[in-house]
């Protein structure tokens, strides 16, 4: 009996996936189903290698696909370098022979093997897939996983592996309009919506100098120093009253803490006047090459009885514990609560006016040079209603996805008569090619793999 030759086409493709910067790998790819007999399968087509992203170590992609009885096997796909991510799809089902007479059909195309996580980048565990969707509910409740109100006011975020850590002021005990220091809290989430309280990372017991009823610590921000392997926190240090000075916020300094683990107990380093300048609302900025900056409102000699009319950008020393001589003043007006983002080499800084706990219109500045400027000194309002929906900026969260990067305006809605009840407003920025804007949204979602926002 003459055998009719048929063909089996096996298409195997293997995708390394773009994941978080954490270095976790995709899950095992699924193999294709077995095909039915044709005498001669043709080998699978070459698998497409994964996309190269920063972070994890190179991983191998799918295994060689074997074809039909006489067909040659598929070409091995080389996996992309991954730094985390979602499931790598396996090889497609091999198509069976046309007639089925003759020899046995080609075996199923073997699926891609697991993308082994990029363990290298920053010691992230391999093989853990991150969450894919985050839904932000601005109407609340902004509760943690135990049902308690999230206490992370004036906060900042840092992503480590597949987890976001949210640091902020714990104002549980501030049940009136006075915000004396009790603790800095740290929450963790993989989806930006489900927050587990991890630790009170700085408390009044952290160091004797923090055991002071007059103390105020606000707006903590954390970055990681790859050379010292320490997480470094900067915040605003102040006093409710000072001898020889009238009114609250009479000290106006910066404070620094460090910890070898992101959510561990931080160690007090020092409080001081950066560059000799008074220093209030503050933030940190870190470039991909590790160069970092402390940005704060205040200038030499400014005190609580006057205005705080300048913003300084201080380059940090390589250990992030000091400011260097590099100081830049870009806005000679009365702003505070700056938070930054950078797109295609352009820098943007959103800030508020200075009206205490009362909200005002947030606006942003642009620098086409660097974080140190030159800034255009021309503020563009964000939000149409005069108070940015009663919020004040605190941080801009970049969500780097495979299709787009979304920048989230993270802000506080202060309750000035009971600060412990203060809540939050998180909104995605939109950009029309020229101008950034915000649109209020009670609930919205973001695909954390692609970066694409869905407004409900
Ligand atoms: C705001 C500042 C807050 C807090 C408040 C106290 O201007 O942004 O972080 O310091 O004043 O009134």
Q: Which is higher by pLDDT, 84 or 327?
A: 327
- Check pLDDT > 50 for residue 447: yes
- The answer to whether residue 333 is domain-embedded is yes
Residues in Cβ contact with 408 at an 8 Å cutoff, skipping those fewer than 6 apart: 136, 192, 396, 397, 398, 399, 426, 427, 428, 429, 446
Task: Give distance in angstroms: CA of 174 to centre of ligand 1.
Answer: 14
pLDDT of 33: 33
Banded model confidence at residue 130, pLDDT cuts 50, 70, 90: low
Residue nearest (by alpha carbon) to ligand 1 atom 1? 356
Calpha distance 40→63 (Å, rounded):
21
- The answer to whether residue 267 is domain-embedded is yes
pLDDT of 377: 80
Residue nearest (by alpha carbon) to ligand 1 atom 6? 356
Distance of CA 255 to the CA centre of its chain: 23
Banded model confidence at residue 125, pLDDT cuts 50, 70, 90: confident
Task: Give distance in angstroms: CA of 215 to centre of ligand 1.
Answer: 14
pLDDT of 331: 66
pTM listed for this prediction: 0.75
Banded model confidence at residue 128, pLDDT cuts 50, 70, 90: low
- The answer to whether residue 305 is domain-embedded is yes
Mean pLDDT within 34-45 = 30
Q: How many CA atoms lie within 13 A of 354 on its CB side?
A: 15
Which residue out of 249, 281, 311, 422 has the highest number of ligand 1 atoms within 8 Å of its CB and is therefore the one to mutate? 281
pLDDT of 290: 98
Ligand 1 atom index nearest CA of 216: 10
**Which own/partner contact pairs does 123-128 have at CB distance under 8 Å and 24+ positions apart?**
123/23, 124/22, 124/23, 124/24, 124/56, 124/83, 124/84, 124/160, 124/161, 124/162, 125/24, 125/161, 126/23, 126/24, 126/25, 127/24, 127/25, 127/27, 128/24, 128/84, 128/161, 128/162
Q: Which is higher by pLDDT, 97 or 269?
A: 269
Q: Which is higher by pLDDT, 41 or 168?
A: 168
Q: How many CA atoms lie within 13 A of 253 on its CB side?
A: 15
Mean pLDDT within 46-60 = 30
Banded model confidence at residue 389, pLDDT cuts 50, 70, 90: very high
**DSSP state, residue 149:** B
Task: Give distance in angstroms: CA of 280 to centre of ligand 1.
Answer: 9
- The answer to whether residue 367 is domain-embedded is yes
- The lowest-confidence range among 158-172, 272-286, 291-305 is 291-305
Task: Give distance in angstroms: CA of 282 to centre of ligand 1.
Answer: 11
Calpha distance 2→142 (Å, rounded):
73
Cis amide prior to 374 (ω within 30 degrees): yes
Which residue out of 178, 336, 350 has the highest number of ligand 1 atoms within 8 Å of its CB and is therefore the one to mutate? 336
Residues in Cβ contact with 93 at an 8 Å cutoff, skipping those fewer than 6 apart: 32, 33, 35, 108, 109
The domain spanning residue 228 has which CATH number?
Answer: 2.115.10.20
Ligand 1 atom index nearest CA of 219: 9
Which residue out of 174, 218, 247, 351 has the highest number of ligand 1 atoms within 8 Å of its CB and is therefore the one to mutate? 218
Residue nearest (by alpha carbon) to ligand 1 atom 2? 356
Of 308, 281, 298, whose CA–CA distance to 393 is shortest? 281
Q: Which is higher by pLDDT, 17 or 119?
A: 119
End-to-end CA distance of the chain: 64
Range with top average pLDDT, 98-102, 114-118, 155-159 = 155-159
**DSSP state, residue 447:** E
Q: Are 55 and 126 in contact (CB under 8 A)?
A: no
Residue 242, SS3 per DSSP: strand
Number of domains the chain is built from: 1
Tens digit of each residue's pLDDT (9 = 90 or more) over 203-243: 999 999 999 999 999 999 999 999 999 999 999 999 999 88
Which residue out of 168, 179, 248 has the highest number of ligand 1 atoms within 8 Å of its CB and is therefore the one to mutate? 179
pLDDT of 129: 60
- Check pLDDT > 50 for residue 88: no
Of 147, 182, 148, 153, whose CA–CA distance to 167 is shortest? 153
Q: Are 82 and 117 in contact (CB under 8 A)?
A: yes
E strands present in 193-289 = 196-203, 215-225, 230-239, 253-259, 267-272, 282-286
- The answer to whether residue 166 is domain-embedded is yes
Q: Which domain holds residue 175?
A: 16-455
- The answer to whether residue 83 is domain-embedded is yes
Residue 143: phi and psi, rounded to 5, are -110, 155
Banded model confidence at residue 96, pLDDT cuts 50, 70, 90: very low
Residue 35, SS3 per DSSP: coil
Residue nearest (by alpha carbon) to ligand 1 atom 12? 356
Residue nearest (by alpha carbon) to ligand 1 atom 5? 356
Task: Give distance in angstroms: CA of 354 to centre of ligand 1.
Answer: 8
Tens digit of each residue's pLDDT (9 = 90 or more) over 57-81: 223 333 222 322 222 222 222 332 2
Ligand 1 atom index nearest CA of 416: 12
The DSSP bridge pattern shows strands 7-11 and 40-45 to be parallel
Distance of CA 222 to the CA centre of its chain: 11
- Check pLDDT > 70 for residue 140: yes
Which residue out of 356, 359, 393 has the highest number of ligand 1 atoms within 8 Å of its CB and is therefore the one to mutate? 356
- The answer to whether residue 10 is domain-embedded is no
Residue nearest (by alpha carbon) to ligand 1 atom 8? 337
- Check pLDDT > 80 for residue 31: no
Of 140, 253, 233, whose CA–CA distance to 195 is shortest? 140
Task: Give distance in angstroms: CA of 414 to centre of ligand 1.
Answer: 9
- The answer to whether residue 2 is domain-embedded is no
Three-state SS sequence of 36-78? CCCCEEEEEECCCCCCCCCCCCECCCECCCCCCCCCCCCCCCC
Average pLDDT score, the chain: 77
Residue nearest (by alpha carbon) to ligand 1 atom 7? 356
Ligand 1 surroundings by CB, under 6 angstroms: 154, 218-219, 281, 336-337, 354, 356-357, 392
């Amino acid at each position: 009996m003459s055998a009719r030759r048929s063909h089996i086409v096996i298409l195997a493709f293997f995708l390394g996936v773009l994941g978080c910067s954490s270095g976790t790998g995709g899950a095992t790819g699924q193999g294709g189903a077995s095909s039915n007999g044709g005498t001669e399968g043709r080998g699978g087509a070459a698998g497409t290698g994964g996309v190269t992203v920063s972070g994890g170590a190179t991983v191998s992609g799918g295994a060689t696909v074997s074809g039909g009885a006489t067909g040659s096997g598929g070409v091995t796909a080389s996996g992309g370098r991954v730094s985390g991510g979602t499931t790598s799809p396996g090889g497609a089902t091999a198509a069976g022979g046309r007639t089925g007479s003759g020899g046995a059909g080609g075996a199923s195309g073997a699926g891609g093997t697991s993308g082994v996580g990029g363990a290298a980048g920053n010691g992230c565990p391999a093989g853990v897939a991150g969450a894919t969707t985050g839904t932000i509910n601005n109407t609340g409740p902004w509760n943690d996983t135990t049902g308690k109100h999230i206490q992370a006011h004036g906060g900042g975020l840092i992503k480590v592996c597949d987890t976001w850590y949210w640091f902020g002021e714990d104002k549980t005990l501030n049940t009136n309009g006075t915000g004396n220091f009790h603790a800095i809290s740290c929450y963790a989430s993989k989806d930006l919506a489900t927050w587990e309280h991890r630790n009170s990372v700085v408390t009044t017991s952290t160091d004797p100098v923090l055991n002071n009823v007059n103390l105020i610590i606000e707006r903590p921000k954390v970055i990681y120093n790859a050379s010292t392997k320490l997480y470094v926190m900067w915040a605003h240090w102040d006093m409710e009253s000072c001898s020889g000075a009238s009114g609250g916020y009479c000290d106006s300094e910066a404070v620094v803490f460090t910890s070898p683990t992101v959510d561990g107990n931080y160690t007090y380093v020092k409080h001081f006047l950066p560059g000799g300048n008074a220093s209030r609302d503050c933030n940190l900025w870190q470039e991909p090459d590790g160069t970092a900056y402390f940005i704060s409102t205040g200038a030499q000699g400014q005190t609580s009885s006057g205005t705080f009319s300048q913003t300084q950008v201080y380059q940090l020393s390589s250990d992030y514990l000091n400011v260097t001589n590099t100081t830049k003043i870009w806005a000679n007006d009365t702003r505070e609560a700056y938070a930054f983002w950078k797109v295609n080499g352009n820098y943007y800084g959103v800030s508020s006016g200075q009206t205490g706990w009362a909200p005002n219109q947030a606006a942003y500045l642009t620098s086409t040079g660097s974080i140190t400027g030159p800034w255009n000194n021309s503020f563009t309002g964000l939000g149409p209603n005069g108070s940015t929906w009663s919020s004040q900026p605190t941080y801009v969260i970049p969500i780097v996805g495979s299709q787009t990067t979304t920048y989230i305006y993270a802000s506080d809605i202060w309750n000035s008569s009971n600060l412990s009840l203060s809540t939050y407003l998180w909104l995605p920025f939109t950009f029309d090619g020229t101008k950034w804007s915000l649109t209020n949204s009670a609930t919205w979602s973001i695909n954390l793999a692609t970066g694409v926002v869905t407004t409900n």
